[in-house]
Amino acid sequence: MDRDAVATVVGECWQKEIIGELERYIAIPALSPDFDDDWEASGHIEEAVQQVLAWIVSRPIAGLKVEVQRLPGRTPLIVAEVEAFGDPPSDVGQSTVLLYGHLDKQPEMSGWKAGLGPWTPVRDGDRLYGRGGADDGYSAFASMAAIEAVQACGGRHSRCLLLIEASEESGSVDLLHHLDVLGDRLGDVSLLVCLDSGCASYDTLWLTTSLRGLVEATLRVDVIEEAWHSGMASGLVPSSFRLSRILLDRIEDSTSGRVLLDSAHQEIPVHRLSEAAAMAELLGGIGEDFGLVGDLRLMEDDPAMGLLARTWRPALSVVGADGLPSTALAGNVVRPFTALKLSLRLPPTASAEDAAAELVNRLSSEPPMQASVRVEDVDWADGWDATNLAPWLASALSDSAMHRFGQPMQLFGEGGSIPFIAMLGTMFPEAQFVVTGVLGPESNAHGPNEFLHLGYAEKLTGCMADILHAEASRLISQG
């Protein structure tokens, strides 16, 4: 396969088509179901599905079949199947490369810079700002562009199956049901390519080696039926916020931030310790400027330990609250309740189900002051720790990184969660995984000022074309 020709085909596709499509996609407020109870009625997810579907259908790709799989009450799934391609195609026809992405989005968030907004696509040099472009709207376009480039430039690929879901930001709650329906159609998956992860810099190809697990829950403490004047009730009626603090102290040391759940801790493998040390040395730190306010210190001073803290250690965050009025509207009252949305990140090898059970037990047993305590909306997803790369894949990734970026490929652990990866790791234990993505420095997925680095995404698309060709060529050489 002519790699320089691949770069040309991919570059033209990005510049002439994909960027414009992503600008249209960013403008669609396709919130994930967790953030839009009326997602079916609002129609935004359907609008995004139809846009992506129409673009895929238009591609000049041999052997392409596309459909939208629909299940009652669940978000749709785009399924694009491409027959094996190359000389001879029969030699590569028994293997399936599964490509994955999603098109649902996180909510708007506040704090966008002047002139920017979640549904306002703005291009500034290599940055395309707006919600969802990097997480993960680009994935469908990049995947199909990679397949298209392979076919146009003398390459070959195995059977490809692209799945674009619409519930990833809600924990992929609908995906397992779709996979059950697909059944044998998934085929013999030898390689899984996921473009929903990150990179530690924009100057080379980064491969994700681990993902953290996740437990989500809402802690609610009720004390009275309606608000009472604080001059009347305070001192007698216990504060729901104080009781919530007492409960949180059962699962987190508020001084150190250490999570107090035994099931949330795992020993870090020696090779991951070495990987973090190498990454810290390469980046000269942790690779990210969080914009700390004032003289705030990070929880870890050593860069390598800092990288491990956000990839292999549990961490608790309170990501939302109900029952608390804004400071501008807060009256002198004892509030009826406090509800806190909890997000517990877990080591890649921890059992998320066990951690969820321990968390619920700690928070709900023996409530302080005999308060009404509920732990609701509990959900969990396991993390993922990659197996060793097969020699052919390690070689292909390394060669592609040097050709596309002029730099060696790098490995790193990711602090986020992709439930789909753990699902497929269980279903296809012998498959190889290429988990990568464009969420690099300052890209700020889920937060304000999210952007897609266009130059990196374009080169990454070329790398995916290289991997598809290498996977099929490897099968032919073995056959």
| Span 129-179, pLDDT tens digits | 999 999 999 999 999 999 999 999 999 999 999 999 999 999 899 999 999
Per-residue model confidence (pLDDT) at position 478: 66
pLDDT at 308 over 80: yes
Per-residue model confidence (pLDDT) at position 166: 98
Per-residue model confidence (pLDDT) at position 116: 98
What pTM value is reported for the model? 0.88
pLDDT at 423 over 90: no
CB 75 within 8 A of CB 39: yes
Segment 341-351 shows an average pLDDT of 97
How far, in Å, CA of 174 to CA of 177, rounded? 6
pLDDT at 89 over 80: no
In the chain, how long is the greatest CA-to-CA distance?
A: 84
pLDDT at 88 over 70: no
CB 112 within 8 A of CB 448: yes
CB 93 within 8 A of CB 159: yes
Which residues face 411 on adjacent strands? 207
pLDDT at 475 over 80: no
What confidence category does residue 108 fall into, taking pLDDT thresholds of 50, 70 and 90? very high
Segment 246-251 shows an average pLDDT of 98
Per-residue model confidence (pLDDT) at position 374: 98
Long-range contacts for 4-7 (Cβ within 8 Å, ≥24 apart)? 5/149, 5/152, 5/153, 5/154, 6/149, 6/150, 6/153, 6/155, 6/462, 6/465, 6/466, 7/404, 7/462
Q: What is the CATH code for 3-211+385-478?
A: 3.40.630.10
User: What are the C-alpha distances in Å from 65 to residues 79, 188, 349, 469?
Assistant: 8, 18, 37, 20
- One-letter amino acid at 426 equals T
Q: Where are the domains of the chain?
A: 3-211+385-478, 213-266+312-381
Which residues face 381 on adjacent strands? 214
Per-residue model confidence as pLDDT tens digits over 204-235:
999 999 999 999 999 999 999 999 999 999 99
What confidence category does residue 477 fall into, taking pLDDT thresholds of 50, 70 and 90? low
Helices (H), 68-214: 138-152, 175-182
- One-letter amino acid at 345 equals R
CB 435 within 8 A of CB 211: yes
CATH architecture type of domain 213-266+312-381: 2-Layer Sandwich (3.30)
| Concatenated DSSP letters of 236-249 | TSPPHHHHHHHHHT
Scan for tokens 């040390």, then name that residue: 277
Per-residue model confidence (pLDDT) at position 196: 95
